[in-house]
Structure formats: structure tokens, C-alpha cells
Structure 1
Amino acid sequence: MPSVDEIRGRIEAALPGARVTVEDLTGGGDHFRCEIVSDRFRGLSRLERHKLVYAIFGDEIGGPIHALSLKTLAPEEAK
């Protein structure tokens, strides 16, 4: 099961310069909440942003990562 640090590190590697906060919601390492602020989200819909993040984890979503709740913001939205 991935750790909070592993989840954060993978997002930061895929979205350089992003500010990423990750929380393990249950303590079991399979339900996470992430808040991500990235320039990469500019001009993308909420669905497009979430697809971009889910693509980082591929088949792990629904497997080792049972749930991944996302809040995705462009920098100007994170005030």
C-alpha cells in the first residue's frame, strides 16, 4: 500500500512545481484526500484535472488505492 509520502512524491514528480497536500483518511493506506495546486490545471475542467491526476496512478486506483478524493486548483483559485 502506498504511503502519504509516496502519493505526494508521485504527484509532485508528474506535476513539477505543484503544491501537494495528502491526507490518509482512514489510517489504512488505501483512502486518501489530496489538494493539488498546479499551473498545469489552468484552462482545464474539473473532470480533466481529475483525469490528469488519476492517470498518474493508473490501475492502482480501485486497487491498492481504494479511494482518492481530489481538490485540484490553479494557483489563482487557491486564495
Structure 2
Amino acid sequence: MAMKADEIERLIKASLPDAVVMIKDLAGDGDHYSALVISEAFRGKSRIQQHQLVYAALRDSLGGELHALALHTATPDTAPVH
């Protein structure tokens, strides 16, 4: 069963309320997404620790409803301009 982008965003924001989340469906199938997550909670954390925070929010969906997620994280001052 595919997962909707807004559900991914909701789960991330439930764990990281200040997060700005931008989701892109890479294959149009609801199973392969890329996500840019920007949060102050990432400040002072390694890239691995940042990703662990996001994956913890999605843990029940990864490998099931959500097959693949290309994850990019940043703090507000290091976020790429879009």
C-alpha cells in the first residue's frame, strides 16, 4: 500500500513540530520519495543523528507503506535555497 506525501509530512512534524518539510514523489507511485527536512532540532547534531530523528518519526512506515526515502536534512541557516 502506498503512502501519501502529506502523511509523511504529518509524521515528521509530529516528532519535529518546527520542521519545514518538502516532499517529492520520485516515481509517481507513492513508494519512492525524497524529503528535505529543515529543523532547529538538527543544530549541533551529525548528519547521521539528524537522519535518525527523522527515521524515528517514520519507523512504523519504513519498509512497509513507505518503500524508499532519499533524505536531506538541514538547520534553518544551512538549508538550500528553493
TM-score (norm 1): 0.90
Q: Give the partner amino acid of 1:23.
A: K
Equivalence for 1:35? 36
The structure carrying a bigger helix percent of its residues is 1
TM-score by length of structure 2 reads 0.87
Q: Take 2:3 and 2:59, find their aligned partners in 1: how far apart are those partners?
A: 13
Which residue of the partner structure matches residue 12 of structure 2? Answer: 11
Question: Which secondary structure state, in structure 2, belongs to the residue aligned with residue 7 of structure 1?
Answer: helix
Q: Which residue of structure 2 aligns with residue 25 of structure 1?
A: 26
- Measured on the aligned residues, the alpha-carbon RMSD in Å equals 1.2
Amino acid at match of 2:44: G
After TM superposition, the runs of 4+ consecutive aligned structure 1 residues lying more than 6 A away are none
Structure 1: segments with no counterpart, 5+ residues? none
Number of matched pairs: 79
Between the two proteins, what is the percent identity of the paired residues?
A: 46
* Partner residue in 2 for 1:54: 55
